[in-house]
Chain A
Amino acid sequence: MSDLDLLLSVAAIAIVLNGLLAGQQLGRWVLTALYALQFALLFSIAPGTDGAQSAVAFHLLDNPVGWQLSAFGWFFAMITIGIAGFCAAYAAGEWGATNAGSGLSMRWLYAGLQINVTAMLLLLSAGDLISLFIGWELTSWAGLILMLLGGGQALLAARRYIIYAIAGGMAIFAGLVMTAGATGSLQYAEVAAAIASVSTGTLWAITLLFVVGFAVKMAILPFHLWQPPAYAFSPGPASAFLGAISARMGLFAIGLVVLKLIGLDGFASLSLWRDVINLRDILLWAAAFTAILPTYVAMRQNDARLLLSWHGVGQGGYMLLGLMITDSLGSAGGLLHVFNYATYQAILLMAVFAVIHRTGTADLNRLGGLVARMPLTFLAMLIGIIGLAGLPPMNGFVSKWMVYRSLVTEGMPLLFVASVISTLGTVLSVYKLLHNTFLGQLRLEHEYVKEAPWSMTVPMMLLCTVVFVTGVMPGLVLGYIADAQAAIGLTPVAFVLGGIESKAGSLDMIWITGVLFAGFGIGAILFYLMGGRTKRVHQLDNYAGGHFLTADVRYQYSDNFYAGLMHRIRPWYRGTFEWAESALVSAVGAASSAARGFFEQANPALWVLVGTTLIVTWVMWHALG
Chain B
Amino acid sequence: MSDNELVNQQFPVKVEQPGGSGNIFARVFDELTAFCRSRSLFILHYCTGCGAIELPPAMTSRFDMERLGISPMVSPRQADILLITGYVSVKTLKRVILTYEQMGSPKYVIGICSCTVNGGMYWQSYATAKKLNDYMPVDLYIAGCMPRPEAVITGLRQLMENIRRGEANGWQDYYQRYDHYLGHQQRLFGETWQTPTDVIAEAKHYGLFSNETLGEHTKLLQQHQKPLEALEMRLGLDSKDKVEP
Measuring CB to CB, which residues of chain A are less than 8 angstroms from any residue of chain B? 369, 372-376, 442, 444, 447-451, 530-531, 533, 535-543, 545-551
Give CA–CA (A531, B197) in the complex, Å.
Answer: 22
Task: Given A531-B18, A546-B99, decide whether A449 and B236 contact each other with a Cβ distance below 8 A.
Answer: yes
The answer to whether A543 touches B241 (Cβ under 8 A) is no
Asked if B241 and A538 sit within 8 Å, CB to CB, the answer is no
Q: From the candidates B95, B96, B202, name the one contacting A547 in the complex (CB within 8 A).
A: B95
Instruction: Tell me the nearest residue of chain B to A546, going by C-beta.
Output: B95
Cβ contacts under 8 Å, A449 to chain B: 236, 244
Q: Once bound together, how far apart are the Cα atoms of A369 and B232, in whole Å?
A: 11
Q: How far is the CA of A434 from the CA of B87 in the complex (A)?
A: 41
How many interface contacts (CB-CB < 8 Å) are there between A and B?
82
**For A535, A536, A545, A546, which residue has the most chain B Cβ atoms within 10 angstroms?**
A546
From B18, B94, B236, A375 is in contact (CB under 8 Å) with B236
- B1 is an interface residue with CB less than 8 A from chain A: no
Known: A448-B243, A448-B244, A546-B98. A540 touches B229 (CB 8 A): yes
Complex interface: chain A residues within 8 A of B230 (CB)? 444, 447, 551
A20 to chain B, nearest CB (A): 32
Tell whether, in the assembled complex, residue B233 and residue A536 are in contact, meaning their CB atoms are under 8 Å apart.
yes
Residue of chain A at shortest CB distance from B101: A541
Contact (Cβ within 8 A) A550 B229: yes
Return chain A residues, CB-CB under 8 Å to B242: 448
Hey, what's the 0/1 contact readout for B228-241 against A, CB within 8 Å counting as 1?
11111111110101
Q: Beyond the given A539-B231, A540-B228, could you list 7 further A-B residue pairs with CB under 8 A, ordered by the A residue number? A: A448-B244, A533-B205, A535-B205, A538-B228, A543-B76, A546-B92, A548-B98
Q: Check if B26 sits within 8 Å of A541, measured CB to CB.
A: no
B23 close to chain A: CB less than 8 A: yes
Q: Which of B196-245 contact A (CB under 8 A)?
A: 196-197, 202, 205, 228-237, 239, 241-244
**Mask: chain B, 71-86; 1 = CB below 8 Å from A; 0 = not:** 0000111000000000
Report the interface size class on chain B.
35 or more
- Asked if A539 and B235 make an inter-chain contact with CB atoms under 8 angstroms apart, the answer reads no
13 CB contacts below 8 A, A to B, read: A372-B235, A447-B230, A448-B244, A450-B239, A538-B233, A540-B229, A543-B75, A546-B46, A546-B92, A547-B95, A548-B95, A548-B195, A551-B231
Q: CB-CB < 8 A to B2: which residues of A? A: none
Query: Is there a chain A Cβ closer than 8 Å to B9's Cβ?
Result: no
Which residues of B line the A interface, CB within 8 A?
18, 21, 23, 26, 46, 75-77, 92, 94-96, 98-99, 102, 195-197, 202, 205, 228-237, 239, 241-244
B77 and A539: CB pair below 8 A? no
The smallest beta-carbon distance between A440 and chain B, in angstroms, is 11
Q: In the complex the two chains form, what is the Cα distance from A375 to B237 in whole Å?
A: 8
A376–B239 CA distance with the chains assembled, in angstroms = 14
Q: Which residues of A contact B239 (CB under 8 A)?
A: 450-451
Closest-by-CB residue of B relative to A552 is B229
Instruction: Give min CB distance, A574 to chain B, whole Å.
Output: 34
* Nearest CB in chain A to that of B196: its residue: A541
Bound-complex Cα distance A542 to B229 (A): 13
Verify B196–A549 contact, CB threshold 8 A. yes
Known contacts A448-B243, A450-B243, A531-B26; decide if A543 and B233 are in contact (CB<8 Å).
no
- The minimal Cβ–Cβ distance linking A181 to chain B, given in whole angstroms, is 65
Q: Which residues of B contact A442 (CB under 8 A)?
A: 231, 233
Contact B236 A450 (CB under 8 A): yes
A372: nearest residue on chain B (CB-CB)? B233
Docked Cα-Cα span, A549 to B98, in Å, equals 11
* Among A376, A537, A543, A548, residue most surrounded by chain B Cβ atoms (within 10 Å): A543
Contact yes or no, B76 A551, CB < 8 A = no
**How far is the CB of A525 from the nearest CB of chain B, in Å?**
14
Per the bound structure, the CA–CA distance linking A372 and B75 in Å amounts to 21
A535 closest partner in B (C-beta): B205
Known: A448-B244, A550-B229. A541 touches B197 (CB 8 A): yes
Q: What is the chain A residue whose CB lies nearest that of B96?
A: A546
- List the A residue with the shortest CB-CB distance to B99: A546
Q: Are B236 and A444 in contact (CB under 8 A)?
A: no
CB closest chain-B residue, reference A549? B196
Contact between chains at A538 and B232 (CB < 8 Å): yes
- CB-defined contacts of A548 to chain B, threshold 8 Å: 94-95, 98, 195-196
Q: Are A447 and B231 in contact (CB under 8 A)?
A: yes
A538 touches B96 (CB 8 A): no
